[in-house]
Every structure is written in structure tokens, then in C-alpha cells.
Amino acid sequence: MARPGAACPPPARRVMVAARALLFWALVYSYCGVCACIAGLRLLWSIGRRPGETFRWVVRENPPACLNDPSLGTHCYVRIKDSGLRFHYVAAGERGKPLMLLLHGFPEFWYSWRHQLREFKSEYRVVALDLRGYGETDAPPHKENYKLDCLIADIKDILESLGYNKCVLIGHDWGGMIAWLVAICYPEMVTKLIVVNFPHPSVFTEYILRHPSQLIKSGYYFFFQMPWFPEFMFTLNDFKVLKSLFTSQATGIGRKGCRLTAEDIEAYLYVFSQPGALTGPINHYRAIFSCLPLQHHEVIMPTLLLWGERDAFMEVEMAEITRIYVKNHFRLTILSEASHWLQQDQPDIVNKLIWTFLKEETKRKRE
């Protein structure tokens, strides 16, 4: 069957492409405006209720003890030759063991993998990275520095700088998107892929355009297109939004989950309360629409997808659709009582599922 539009003369095709692009960007900026209006109303409401508290912003001077807990591993740095950026990571387990590379989501940093650093260091060299722009990793100032091509290249270069040519790659949320794309672009570097609460990127881009409910849940993608205002909104009431993401009934870890301690919350506040600390993370989202829509790509290595069904940001239907893009063994496990923050919410179950997948694949290869 001929591809739609193939019979059109070149000028007509150009008009069609231009029209689709115009509609796409009209949607992006229209929804951005809606999200900005909602945020503005919330700001006015907060000022009206507690004007003295609204603009309180406390910069945490000293890190809480949990960030230097020796049981989590060693703080290390590596400078990438091509980009010149210095990356921070925490590593646990002996050098020379197979590499397990962990990519966090938003708004997180290496610490979101604390339970996995402790768990898998017995058999792996476990590395939890601060992505470009996060935590102690360098943060280039321009949004163009956060395009997906740059983020994918970061992982390839870091792998090589650590002295490895392959790894078990695990990603959550935004780190999950990067993990999918690394597995697609550099399949020889990923022996096994494990993604937590993020579908195949093609599933996400197609689903969000067809399901208004997911478009609404992903509203922050559009809100983050604005300059400086999203960062400002995060700082209000001493980072109330940040705390609420992890603790509220709507978006936080559920009643049956492993709730964050006061010290865990302070760890997040320490990292993101620093001046300018939010711009790099939000720039990841500001660059995303220049890379969309993505083409369909297949994943050829064994893949495990873990999903918290009570995810407030991602609809669970996308998890099952992801199966069609994995041309190898694919295992999907949906945890009914778990939230978006799955590896922190249900660490024991998540770790057990990862172990089962890794051992199962090792046994499968031997057979």
C-alpha cells in the first residue's frame, strides 16, 4: 500500500508538512498558555491566603547525612571529552563487575536509586548518575544543550569513560525515556533494558495526541516551555510543590508504600534549593518538542517494564502497548498499589522483580 501523501507533488507535500507543523506548535503554545494561566491563578490564591509565606525560599547550606551514607557507595566525577561536561555519580560494588547504570527522572537525582545501590552492589558495579543539568553534574545554560541527541550521547560517553562497552541500563520517568533511546541507538551497549514508569517514546507521543486525559496529565511538559516562570513557581512556599510531588495524596507515594523520611525530603530540598538548580532539569523539557514526533524504533534486547498503576502522570494503558516495539523477551509487571515513584515506593518488590528478570535472562542465555 502506498504511503499516504506519496502521490502528492512536492509543493503540496511541503504545504501539508508546514500545516501539520503549524497545528502542532499551535497546540503546544496554546496549552502552554492555559497551564500558565492556571499557575498564575494558584500564585494569586497563595498570595491572598499567606502573603508572608508565599515567597519564602530557604537555601539549604549543608547536605543531610543521608547523602554521604557510605553504604550507598562512593561519590565520583568524570569529565566527558566531547562535551567537556563534568558528571557526578555515586558508585557501589567492585570495579570490574558487570555495570548497572541507573538514570533518574524529574525532579530527582542519583539519590532516588538509594535502595538499588545497596541491593545490587553484590553482583554489579552499580552507578547512579546525576543527569546533565542535575545536582553536582554540570548544567549548560542554553536549552539547546538538552536536546535528546545530547542526552543519548552523554550515556554512551559516560559508559566508555567508566571503562565499559556494555551495561544493564535502568531508567525511571525521564531517565526511562533516555534509556529507551540509548537502547535503540546503541543496542550493542545495552545487554538488558529495565524501565520504570515510562513507555516506549513512540507509544507516548502517539498516545498523548489521541487521549486528552494523558495530555492533561502531561500538562507540565507545556508549562515548562515558558522561561523562568516554572522555576519561580517551584520555589514558592519554600518548595511546597516539590514536597507535594512526593508526599501528597494525589501524586505522592501511596499509603502502602515506603514513604520518604524527613531526611529524604531534606536531601531533595538541599539539591533543588540551590540557586539555578531547577533550570537545567526544566531545560530537558524545553528542548523536547524540537525532537518530536519521534519515529518508530524497535528494541532488540531483553526488556523489563515496571509500572506503578497509581501513577498520577502516566496512564497505565501505555505500558501494554509498549510490547509491540520490543523484538525480544519482554516482561511487563504492573503493581496495583504503587505510585509513579516506584523504585522508592516499593523498593523490596522492585528489587526482587529486577533480580528475577536478570537471573531469568542469564538462565535463558545458557540454555
Point out the residues that are catalytic. Answer: 173, 285, 340
Contacts of residue 301, defined as CB under 8 A and 6 or more positions apart, other chains included, come to: 183, 187, 190, 191, 192, 193, 328
Residue 88's φ and ψ, nearest 5 degrees, are: -105, 140
Residue 303's φ and ψ, nearest 5 degrees, are: -135, 135
C-alpha cell belonging to residue 311: 501513577
Alpha carbon distance 145, 98 (integer Å) = 30
Nearest C-alpha neighbor of 134 from the set 311, 268, 228: 268
